[in-house]
């Protein structure tokens, strides 16, 4: 975890977070390909932004696309040194496995739209944190997609 995240409070990240993120990305890309879209490519700055937002929500006990400081996804990406023109973000809480997560997102019109953005996005990052004080179980998931970084 970065010093900035550690300073923000104690964020608990699942021991298998990397594996969970890879499985989620595989399921997301399978949906994209099944719908005629190109797969997204991993971008570490998007992952850093997604993880920072997941940790912020877990530690401070809220659930929103806006950060506790009012920040929006694009502003959070800029803090990671990414100047993407188009940014999309999906968030979720409570799911414990990637297949459940992606199924829930695909059954939600807004989340589905973000996953299936055609020419809009080509990169992704996924952040996962244990749900924290505001939730009784599962994980906080953040998917950030962008076009270029």
pLDDT at 7: 36
pTM of the model: 0.90
User: What is the C-alpha radius of gyration for the chain, rounded to an integer number of angstroms?
Assistant: 14
pLDDT digits (tens, 9 = 90+) for 3-61: 344 334 689 999 999 999 999 999 999 999 999 999 999 999 999 999 999 999 999 98
Rounded average pLDDT over 62-77: 91
pLDDT digits (tens, 9 = 90+) for 134-146: 666 789 999 999 9
pLDDT at 4: 46
pLDDT digits (tens, 9 = 90+) for 74-118: 999 999 999 888 899 999 999 989 999 999 999 999 999 999 987
Write the CB contacts of 130 (distance below 8 Å, at least 6 apart in sequence).
12, 13, 14, 58, 139, 140
CB 124 within 8 A of CB 74: no
User: What structural domains and CATH numbers belong to the chain?
Assistant: 24-135 (3.40.33.10)
Give SS3 for 42.
Answer: strand
Between CA 129 and CA 103 the distance in angstroms is: 19
Distances (CA, A) of 48 to 81, 89, 124: 10, 13, 11
pLDDT at 136: 64
Write the CB contacts of 36 (distance below 8 Å, at least 6 apart in sequence).
118
pLDDT at 149: 83
For the record, the structure tokens of 33 come out as 């390909």
Q: Residue 1: pLDDT band by 50, 70, 90 thresholds?
A: very low
Between CA 106 and CA 134 the distance in angstroms is: 25
């Amino acid at each position: 975890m970065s010093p900035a995240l550690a300073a923000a409070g104690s964020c608990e990240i699942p021991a298998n977070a990397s594996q969970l993120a890879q499985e989620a990305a595989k399921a997301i890309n399978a949906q994209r390909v099944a719908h005629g879209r190109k797969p997204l490519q991993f971008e570490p700055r998007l992952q850093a932004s997604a993880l920072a937002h997941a940790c912020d929500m877990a530690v401070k006990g809220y659930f929103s696309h806006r950060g506790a400081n009012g920040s929006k996804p694009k502003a959070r990406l800029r803090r990671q040194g990414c100047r993407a023109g188009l940014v999309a973000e999906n968030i979720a809480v409570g799911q414990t496995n990637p297949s459940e997560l992606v199924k829930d997102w695909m059954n939600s019109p807004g989340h589905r739209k973000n996953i299936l953005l055609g020419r809009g996005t080509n990169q992704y990052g996924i952040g996962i944190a244990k749900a924290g004080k505001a939730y009784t179980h599962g994980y906080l998931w953040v998917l950030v997609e962008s076009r270029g970084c």
